[in-house]
Amino acid sequence: MQHVKTGEMNGPAALEVAAVSYSYGTKRALSDVSFAIAPGTFTVLLGLNGAGKTTLFSLISHLYNTRHGSISIFGHDIGRASGEALRRVGIVFQARTLDLDLSVYQNLSYHASLHGIGGREARQRIEALLQSVDMSDRINDKARSLSGGQMRRIEIARALLHRPTLLLLDEATVGLDIQSRADILAMIRKLVETDGIGVFWATHLIDEVDDGDHVVVLHKGSLLANGGVTEIVSATGSSSIREAFTRLAGLDAATAAGAAS
């Protein structure tokens, strides 16, 4: 297997993962993973099922303790200064997490109050965010009545309520139709452009990667590449990111094709 590491950064990284390993009992899920992502960029965490993406997200969000290695967010260590680190992060988990029996507004205002945001301020933020995810007309509807894509939009709005500077999304488009997938991805890319929010987008879908993206390639718990798409493509002597990924992960054609859709 080839390994590609590229890219330099000045100042504190939005996210720095240093020599992180994690095991479930005897099952090794992450092996000595190190990379950093710059503030305000769209970075793709690309890996097939079982690569370790959700495990890494669980460590970054402090659901699991990092026992080997360290993780910091804008220079704040997730173990030693978890409050400082986590208030800069918004997270959309792979599994659906809305309370189906509450309205859209109630789901969001509950989350706002967890962050100490209440009253008129909460209402204003909720209305502005619902507008930006194009869901204003559903504010009083029960979450249960929304489609999968609409629920994802509400989860994204919720993750942005406390104004994080780094947004993590774990397989955010899973289970959605092609149009909803494209809409959600475009919406998130626009956030990076207009609001300067950094995004760390985990996916197994190579067609979600754009030429200008930073990509972190994870395979069977190991980091295989970390850099710009064009850097990774040229460093592997490939003609596309799909071919680069196939080469890096040592995949056969059938497995690589499965990463397309």
Ligand X SMILES: Nc1ncnc2c1ncn2[C@@H]1O[C@H](COP(=O)(O)OP(=O)(O)OP(=O)(O)O)[C@@H](O)[C@H]1O
Interaction site with ligand X (CB under 6 A): 24, 27, 29, 47, 49-55, 171, 204
| CA distances for 91 relative to 52, 97, 164, 201, angstroms | 17, 11, 9, 10
* Distance in Å, CB of 169 to ligand X, minimum: 12
User: Residue 28 corresponds to which amino acid?
Assistant: R
Q: Which is nearer to ligand X, 222 or 246 (CB)?
A: 222
* Distance in Å, CB of 203 to ligand X, minimum: 9
Cα 211 to Cα 222: distance, rounded to the nearest angstrom:
23
* Distance in Å, CB of 158 to ligand X, minimum: 21
Cα 188 to Cα 226: distance, rounded to the nearest angstrom:
21
- Backbone φ and ψ for 51, nearest 5 degrees, come out as -65, -30
Q: Which is nearer to ligand X, 34 or 165 (CB)?
A: 34
Cα 129 to Cα 195: distance, rounded to the nearest angstrom:
12
Q: Which is nearer to ligand X, 41 or 54 (CB)?
A: 54
* Distance in Å, CB of 255 to ligand X, minimum: 14
- HEC readout, 178-239: HHHHHHHHHHHHHHHHHHCCEEEEEECCHHHCCCCCEEEEEECCEEEEEEEHHHHHHHCCCC
Closest Cα partner for 133 from 161, 112, 106, 111?
Answer: 161
Q: Which is nearer to ligand X, 182 or 205 (CB)?
A: 205
Q: Which is nearer to ligand X, 24 or 179 (CB)?
A: 24
142: which 2 tokens?
């029960």
Q: Which is nearer to ligand X, 64 or 192 (CB)?
A: 64
* Distance in Å, CB of 20 to ligand X, minimum: 12
* Distance in Å, CB of 172 to ligand X, minimum: 12
Q: Which is nearer to ligand X, 26 or 140 (CB)?
A: 26
Cα pseudo-dihedral 248, 251, 255, 258, rounded to 10: 10
176: which 2 tokens?
């959605």
* Distance in Å, CB of 58 to ligand X, minimum: 8
